Amino acid sequence: MKLLESYGRDGVSQGELVEVTGYSKSWISELLKELEERGVLARVPGPGKTKRVVLSKYLDPSLGKVVRLGLVRASEYLFLQNFISRLRSHGYEVELVIFGSVSEATAALARAEVHLAIAPIYTQAVFRALGAPIRAYPGGAIGGASLVYRDLEGPVLSSRASTMEVATVVLSKFLGTELSKLGYYRVPEEGVEALIHGRTSALTIWEPYATHLESLGFRRIRLSDFIGKYYCCTLARHENLSHRASDDVKESWTEALAEARKSRLVGEPLSILGMDRSAAERALKEYEYLEHIEWEYIKNVLDYASGFLLNISLVKELLEN
């Protein structure tokens, strides 16, 4: 398994595994057969008549039956348990890959290190504008961004290339704050610590972090109070995903969002993400869910934060199938 991991997406021939390990050809063959039946790996066509042994997580899900899903820790994933369950009903196993920021998750998707990523539609649009081969599925979470502060005179922190950065730009126009004081945190915990210990005066952040900071006595301004409803995170795929796998993902995503729109139950995957259940439940009121795109909600943001790498045309291109 360590050898196969080291070869990554390129894989390795069965003959090379025999050479490198020193085990017999028959023993390697039997082991590979067992692991393939368990869905751990697959033997796929290589150059000529050869076959390459590749870990399932590096293959298209229609071959490997493993979906690698990149995401960050956030309480908006009310739909996650149902999404995973529906993918399993199509025969896929789901591997969650947790990143510190949405830009890291989207970059991993652009490099095909994950098959899917849940990230802000604005982040996805910027990455696609820079050449990333990614597309987004319609629908997602609405809301969740807040400016939390002790005062509005000092520096403001945000996550880079995210809904939070867009929120910072929009709110700065309404509040008259100076963007030259804008800095970035790499992971949300870093921003929370900076505010608590006085290293920053304010930060834009998502749930449940904003609700937690508010409970500590910090003041909060919601982006929705200024511009109305807006999309936060949507689901994007790498363009090399097969039509079959993409259709299964889209169906599972749409059904999971529809269920989330009707239900307010917190699913088990939030504990997998290291989220405190009670904090997540308190923060759920900050989100809504839609299984389709309302362009009015996209426009609510882009009327204030549109630029050469983020505009309505680029978002539409991202969502085209």
Give the pLDDT of residue 75. 81
Domains located in the chain, CATH noted: 2-58 (1.10.10.10), 61-143+230-274+303-319 (3.40.190.10), 146-227 (3.40.190.10)
C-alpha pair distances (Å), 199 with each of 18, 146, 151, 171: 56, 19, 12, 21
Confidence of residue 58 (pLDDT cuts 50, 70, 90): confident
Find where tokens 């934060």 sit: 305
Q: Name, in order, each residue with C-beta under 8 angstroms of 279's C-beta and a sequence gap of 6 or more.
A: 75, 208, 211, 212
pTM given for the model: 0.80
Quote the CA–CA distance of 233 and 197 in Å, as a whole number: 29
Quote the CA–CA distance of 115 and 269 in Å, as a whole number: 19
Task: Tell me the sheet residues that pair with 288.
Answer: 142
pLDDT in tens, 104-158: 999 999 988 899 999 999 899 889 988 899 999 999 999 999 999 998 888 899 9
Q: Please work out, in degrees rounded to the nearest 5, the angle formed at the alpha carbon of residue 174 by the alpha carbons of 311 and 148.
A: 100
* 8 Å CB contact between 208 and 273: no
Give the pLDDT of residue 281. 72
Selected residue with higher pLDDT from 73 and 311 = 73
Give the pLDDT of residue 136. 94
Give the pLDDT of residue 94. 92
Residue 270 has pLDDT above 60, yes or no: no
pLDDT in tens, 179-213: 557 889 999 999 999 999 999 999 999 988 999 89
Quote the CA–CA distance of 155 and 175 in Å, as a whole number: 14
Confidence of residue 36 (pLDDT cuts 50, 70, 90): confident
Lowest mean pLDDT among 46-60, 83-97, 131-145: 46-60
Give the pLDDT of residue 48. 73
pLDDT in tens, 282-316: 777 889 999 999 999 988 888 887 766 566 776 77
- Give the sign of the dihedral formed by CA 130, CA 188, CA 223, CA 174: negative
Selected residue with higher pLDDT from 207 and 57 = 207
Confidence of residue 319 (pLDDT cuts 50, 70, 90): confident
Antiparallel, parallel or unpaired: β 66-72 and 116-120: parallel
- Decide: helix, strand or coil at residue 52: strand
Q: Whole-number mean pLDDT of the chain?
A: 86
Give the pLDDT of residue 267. 54
Give the pLDDT of residue 174. 82
